[in-house]
Chains A and B, each alone.
Chain A
Amino acid sequence: MSGVRDSLSQRGGGAAASVPAISVQNVSVNYGEVRALENVSFTLAEGRVCGLIGMNGSGKSTLFKAITGMLRPDHGTVTINSGTPALARKAGVVGYVPQSEEVDWAFPISVRDVVMMGRYGHMGFSRRPKAADRAAVDEALERVELTALADRQIGQLSGGQKKRAFVARGIAQGATILLLDEPFAGVDKRSEATITTLLRELAAEGATVLVSTHDLNALPRLADEAILLMRTVLLQSTPAEVLKPVNLARAFGLDVSAGGFE
């Protein structure tokens, strides 16, 4: 287990504190006529957990795609550890936990195989795993408490276990930037608490975690700060500030005090 921690703290802790882990400047993304993101700017310091709050269609998934570079912004720039996203990807710094709907859960692949995919960037041409890769995978599985289920087909896990498997992939990868798209959707409260604890630990070891969530009640326990997104950044502040009804109302466009934001 210490190996993972060491690699995390080396990569995360080595950079000067003044350099943001993620910096998004004036990013705009259009899908044809539709403007998905407009002039989005924010920075995230390393070792922080940041909640991304916004209603469906507010551009959260698009923002993730812009940060991973899966999608090229029409405007603006993204920098990761003061380099380009492409450099960060090559360095294996970026870990991504997809939304449940994006994954084919019937795919004939075991939990261990999924986690092993985190190691591919460290492997040679034919991605043949070496002892170090197997050890990293074992450690990551141990860390998310999925060792006993490692040989199950990925779809046979519960909602929370599935998410932990993908977090383990990021840990095995040695990612210092973790992006999680709706990791708590369809996940029971206990698993949510387990994942929250895990993300806090990873952040304490130097990882920067950006996580989109609808669970506003759990936000203060999860995140150091939060971003309210509505195609653009409405507010970036502490969870307490972001959760003030007057601010939520701006992001969700309705009367929050009536409890209508769900």
Chain B
Amino acid sequence: MNPLDFLLEPLGYDFMLRALATSVMAAIVCAVLSCWLVLIGWSLMGDAVSHAVLPGVVLAYVVGAPFALGAIIFGFLAVGLIGVIRNTSRIKEDAAIGIVFTTLFALGLVLISVTPSQTDLNHIIFGNLLGVSWADLMQVIILGAITLGVLLVKRRDFTLYAFDATHAHAIGLNPKVLGAALLGLLALTAVVALQAVGVVLVVALLIIPGATAYLLTDRFSRMLVIAPVMSALAAVTGLYLSYYLDTASGGMIVLVEGCVFALVYLFSPSQGVIGKRLGAQKRRRMLAAQ
């Protein structure tokens, strides 16, 4: 098969087109948000919120409300509960996160089990890229565009919040509002990515791209380009691989993301475990040659 056919053949199927569009959109939105999450140290929080939205999505489905609404309510509920447990008991934050998100996730599983039309909702857990409908895709695009828009327009405020919340406060901004806005966007993003890779693997899209970009540059503005580009390419690659290898599409996408991170971890010129040494050797050789 020539390379062009290799690339074009899957595109002959509508379901593959929708899968590609959905996964690329989810990958980009998650990757942009992940730049802030890894710098603030909210990776676990991303994990928690993306799981905790499950009961919200199920309840929204039951009452016929938008998924995003249920997700945001339960996202904030989770963050609130984590804060209450941390602040009013001797339990540390990581344990509080673990308790709250698993319990809410379990509530979601139980709700799914008593809700008719189970197949639909089970897809939320593991993702069902190949079964994405045009309506699903529209929702992903609209929510994704809103999230991306807010993140990019207010990116300087969010970066200030991540770097120095005290200064943000001192110049009259409200760090609590900025933090809450990021969490709200995190809940929205979780809904976007649910369609693509499911609750379980959303976390990967929310952490790996930002972490990878962080190993490649010292400029936040460049992270905001590197992370989504890398994540979108990984999504496309993963999807093609899953098509030809006949493997789970969500899992394949995350596997590719993980492999890219591993390569960057090893070979990044400035931060890579091996890349740094290679760079130092090269510099020594050049010095010796002079």
Residues of B within 8 A of A117 (CB): 160, 163-164, 167
Interface size on B, residues (CB 8 A): 25
State whether B170 touches A103 (Cβ < 8 A): no
Residues of B within 8 A of A113 (CB): 220
User: At the interface, yes or no: A137 with Cβ under 8 Å from chain B?
Assistant: no
Interface residues in A78-132 by Cβ distance below 8 A to B read 86, 89-92, 94-96, 98, 102-104, 107-110, 113-114, 117-118, 120-121, 125-127
User: At the interface, yes or no: A176 with Cβ under 8 Å from chain B?
Assistant: no
Complex CA distance for A70 and B164, rounded to whole angstroms: 12
Closest to B171 in A: A121
User: At the interface, yes or no: B166 with Cβ under 8 Å from chain A?
Assistant: yes
Closest to A65 in B: B166
User: At the interface, yes or no: A173 with Cβ under 8 Å from chain B?
Assistant: yes
Residues of A within 8 A of B219 (CB): 108-110
Residues of B within 8 A of A89 (CB): 169-172
User: At the interface, yes or no: A69 with Cβ under 8 Å from chain B?
Assistant: yes
Report the minimum CB–CB distance from A228 to chain B (whole Å): 25
State whether A109 touches B172 (Cβ < 8 A): no
Complex CA distance for A24 and B136, rounded to whole angstroms: 57
Contact of B39 among A90, A104, A114 (CB under 8 A): A104
State whether B167 touches A107 (Cβ < 8 A): no
Produce 1/0 per residue, B205-223, CB < 8 A to A. 0000000001001111011
User: At the interface, yes or no: B154 with Cβ under 8 Å from chain A?
Assistant: yes
Interface residues in B142-188 by Cβ distance below 8 A to A read 153-154, 156-157, 159-160, 162-164, 166-173
Size range of the chain A interface in the assembly: 20 to 34
State whether A108 touches B162 (Cβ < 8 A): no
State whether A96 touches B170 (Cβ < 8 A): yes
Residues of A within 8 A of B173 (CB): 120-121
User: At the interface, yes or no: A153 with Cβ under 8 Å from chain B?
Assistant: yes
User: At the interface, yes or no: A28 with Cβ under 8 Å from chain B?
Assistant: no
State whether B163 touches A95 (Cβ < 8 A): no
State whether A108 touches B166 (Cβ < 8 A): no
Give 12 new A-B contacts, CB below 8 A, not counting A121-B171, A121-B173, A173-B171: A68-B166, A89-B169, A90-B172, A91-B172, A98-B164, A108-B39, A108-B220, A109-B219, A117-B163, A117-B167, A120-B156, A169-B167
Can you report 20 residue pairs joining A to B where beta carbons are below 8 Å apart?
A70-B169, A89-B172, A94-B170, A95-B170, A96-B170, A102-B166, A103-B164, A107-B162, A107-B163, A108-B39, A108-B214, A108-B218, A108-B219, A113-B220, A114-B163, A120-B156, A120-B168, A121-B171, A153-B218, A173-B171
